Chains A and B, each alone.
Chain A
Amino acid sequence: MPIRLRVPSIDVPLALASIALVTIGLLVVYSATSVPGAHQGLWTRQLMWAGIALVAAWVAATIPLRVYDSLAYPIYGISLLMLVAVLVVGTSAMGAKRWLDIGPIRFQPSEIAKLATVLMLARRFDKQKLDLRRVRHWLPALLLTLVPFALVAKEPDLGTAVSFPVILVTMYFWAGLPVGQLLLGLSPVFNALLFFVTGTLWWFAGLLAILLGVARPRIVSLVVVLVLNGAVAFALPHVWHHMHDYQRRRIETFLNPGNDPYGAGYQIIQSQIAIGSGGVTGKGYLKGSQKALAFLPMRHTDFIYSVVGEELGLLGALTVVILYAVVIVRGFRLAVVTRNGFASLLTVGLVSAFFYHIMVNMLMTIGWAPVTGLPLPLLSYGGTALLVNGIQLGLLQNVALRRQEG
């Protein structure tokens, strides 16, 4: 049987699914902005941006991967500067400073910082011979990720900020950190979160015991983990107890903006009504007469999935889920098959951030996640977000094209 050498080409299912999603996005943005009032006609701008994103994807796919590799740190540095700039001279809207205006263009530097952080981490983890149990191997990466995290959280944009640790953890994992170690390392975070959710430390103590029993860490790690958790367990209730009422309120609002009753809570109810009333087959395209949605100021951005659910029903909503699943699973497959270590890590970082955004947005529209203001990638109206998504997908195709290069 003759060996057929397959010429590497772009990943066709990935490309088709992405294009389908952007197309659905355009159609739904058209529908969502067809109600008389503000935002009418925005879909033409979105169409223009889709064209620009396509070009950007093509460019991103053409440049050799080693160029990204060698430019990773400069890009990372520039993105940090932009994040600082946004805090100083940024444009604020809805109570947060997230945008930078350069001439007529307005963009969110946090989008670029995400891409830059993925590049930086891919370069770090690829160059080092992976022994993440050594402090000097994992600590710098952690610190370098916490910088953009802190800057974005300061805007404040907790939703986007959390994507940085999500990227970091996934890439640690892909670079070879055992799951047990990873969970132990994250245990102080779980500790704090569980404390805020349950108000006691017993839940966490139980979980930690199980985790330690399963992971059986070395004695040094064990001591470090216990000391860190002990410190958190001691400090948190203490700090919490000594805070003023209004300080606690601030923290609660920061962690869960949806708690703010007559902003976000209202939007969630309206979103649920829209999706629920859509039923299995939906009310039909352009027939989303549930005008509760007209009361939603962000139906073409953050709550676009509610319009899908209302007009196209369960079938449409599931189609979108399947298309996203194709993009993500094909993405992770690329990370498996590519021969280049940098490319593999890059892919995992990009896809995990993508997945995080989809989850946070979709779970928000059905009422199971806080309102964080994250748009739905590829579907929501928003020029720079679409452009950055295009670059990300272009990078994935880049990896596909060069998967046989070492």
Chain B
Amino acid sequence: MLSSNQTRLLRESRFTLLAACVAIGFGLVVIGLLRLQVVQHDQYVELAKENRVRLEVLRAPRGAIYDRHGELLADSAPSFNVVFRPFPSESVASVRLTMSPRYIAHLSALAEMDSAEVRRRVALANQSGQTAMLRHNAPPPIVAGVEEWRSELPGLEVQIEPLRHYPNGTLASHLLGYAGEINDVEMDSLQQDGYRPGDLIGRTGVERRYEDILRGRDGAEFVVVNAMGKRVSSLNEGPPLPPVAGHSLTLTIDLKVQRALEEAMKGVERGGAVAIDPRDGGVLGMVSRPAYDPNEFSEGLTWARWRELSSGGANPLLDRALQGMYPPGSTFKIVTMLAALRYGAATPRTTFAPCTGRYFFGDRSFACWKPSGHGVLNLIEALQNSCDVYFYQLGPRVGLDHLMETARALGLGDRTSVDLPQERRGLIPDAAWYDRRWGAGHWRKGMMLNLAIGQGEILVTPLQLALMTAEVAVNGRALCPHVVEAIVNEPQFKVARPASSGITADAAVWDALHTGMERVIDTGTGSAAHIPGLRVAGKTGTAQNPHGKPHALFVCYAPVDNPQIAIAVVVENVGHGGTFAAPPAGAVLRKLFLPDSLQNAKSIPGVRETTEVRDAD
């Protein structure tokens, strides 16, 4: 224990050190004050008086977006804003001038604006010191007029600002998303990240998901301007900070595939379609109908137009490829068949009681889509003809757990973790879900029958269907769907790897599936997607739903022996999948795999005619 005297001595020595720190700190402040207020006083008096220091923002261009072959999908083009820059209220004469009726009238005539509105904005700018926006994205005649009169109207200026431009209009609009001017609420939470009023921010799609990478960092320069707003010199205290351009993105999208998809879906009122490369999970094309033009957002929307887009009947802003949830209908029979084969509930040769067009279960009767019945079929034939009665009998043999486990392993009922925002999960109900829904042990009889043919509570997105098809095409290898292939000049970027290890089954199981699905196209319900000389495998689906006519669904991949593309098409409320969803997919395959010379041929010599489309499920 130290005596109090020793303690006191120790404290005195420590106090000396602390006092020295304090002296150094305040010494620095005093030196700083002397420098500003004595040494550089005259210079700052000058700055404070007539001349003003102004900050010129050097806007950083947003990164461009390219397809996988370098075709441009989005970039930035210069646009012109007419603005009013206020004067310091010290320059009383200048401020008075800018509020004079003549000045305001001249300004409003040049900007083609209501003079009361111009007066209000100029007054606000003078009061707050903030630059006022008069015309955003002004048309060239107005810009020319302003440039001509600029020198006579102090404060009036033209600002150049990069504007987001999508050269292909509505093409891939949902996937690309759009970038809009940041709003007040976003400003509040994003100011820390360096956002400023007037900045563009990605709102949906790739623009939103890759906001951090696409947006650059604005630069700035302090300049000294004279009373007329003319630049006199730059300021030594703040060296210019050069803007840093945003990174450009290369997507997995193939403009050729995207164009073909858009073309094929043109007549569709509401629906979605996705094409995936089964070799790596890259999204080749993605369409949602109805579409919108993202350029409208860059150029500025009227309130009415915004209402129309965001809450109009067909809701064009909804990306149905990611956010539309549909019962899979008979496309789900792929899952049921895979589950049956994996868990030994059936073999490809297994037959059940013949299909007579209906099936009785307890006291209920379940119909097959073909009223006259299919007779006796084995599993492969049942898939080929999409026989409901066969699958009614198969469902309970597979069991809920095995069926849903297989569905989940194929990526249904959960986010695919594609690199796009706002993806929906869909729903693959399991035992626990039904217990919650109806209470344990109170399950509806016959539920398994409906689930086996993809009806009931199951909900999937078109993207999930495409992913499922792609994984079946490559014998269950896990895929992680993605839309961004690379960041230009950022070699560190890596495409996300699939989280799961995929789904395992014997080679014979996959062979049976491929055979069944190929027969669907060749001689079954999906003949509308038959392409001469190309081995295509697929499955149609017709999903009953409470909103009107059934949804038409179709999934396929091609070529069977070397899969390069997997497609899923969903068309809302039109009717049978074979009639309405298979033809668009067929059109895409035709475009991609047939040489140009045969594109428009009605028939191909020596190849079977396939225009006959049966109204089949």
Contacts and interface: CB of A to CB of B under 8 A. Distances in A.
Interface of A: 36-37, 92-96, 156, 170, 173-174, 176, 179, 242, 244-246, 249-250, 253, 257, 260-263, 265-266, 269-270, 272-280, 289-292, 294-295, 309, 313-314, 317-318, 321, 324-325, 328-329, 332-333, 335-336, 339, 344, 348, 352, 355, 358-359, 362-363, 366-368
Contact of B47 (A273, A328, A333): A273
Interface in B233-254: 235, 237-238, 241, 244, 247
A367 B33 contact: no
Contact of B44 (A94, A276, A329): A276
Contacts of A309: 33, 36-37
Contact of B55 (A262, A275, A280, A314): A262
A270, A276, A291, A329 — which one has the most chain B CB atoms within 10 A of its CB?
A: A276
Contacts of B33: 275, 309, 314, 317-318, 321, 366
B250 to A, nearest CB: 16
B238 A265 contact: yes
B32 A368 contact: yes
Contact of B26 (A36, A94, A260, A324): A324
Interface in B440-478: none
Given A245-B490, A265-B220, A275 B188 contact: no
B48 interface: yes
28 contacts: A37-B128, A92-B189, A174-B14, A244-B490, A246-B213, A249-B194, A249-B244, A257-B192, A262-B218, A265-B55, A275-B36, A276-B41, A277-B45, A279-B45, A289-B90, A291-B89, A294-B88, A295-B129, A314-B33, A318-B33, A321-B29, A332-B22, A336-B8, A336-B12, A336-B15, A344-B11, A363-B29, A366-B32
B302 interface: no
A257, A355, A366 — which one has the most chain B CB atoms within 10 A of its CB?
A: A366
B192 A332 contact: no
B598 interface: no
Contact of A290 (B22, B26, B29, B48): B48
B235 A355 contact: no
Nearest to A361: B29
Given A276-B43, A332-B19, 13 more contacts: A37-B128, A95-B189, A174-B14, A250-B193, A269-B53, A273-B53, A276-B37, A292-B53, A294-B89, A328-B22, A329-B19, A336-B11, A355-B22
Chain A, interface SS category: helix
Nearest to A241: B492
A179 B212 CA distance: 44
A403 to B, nearest CB: 12
A325 B26 contact: yes
B25 interface: yes
Contacts of A325: 22, 26
B57 interface: yes
The 4 closest A-B pairs by CB, nearest first: A276-B44, A95-B191, A261-B220, A95-B192
B135 interface: no
Given A174-B14, A269-B237, A276-B41, A292 B26 contact: no
B508 interface: no
Contact of A335 (B15, B22, B235): B15
B47 A277 contact: yes
Interface string B186-218: 001111111010000000000000001100011
Interface string B37-73: 1101101110110001101010000000000000000
B189 A277 contact: no
B30 interface: yes
Nearest to B87: A291
A265 B222 CA distance: 9
A359 B40 CA distance: 22
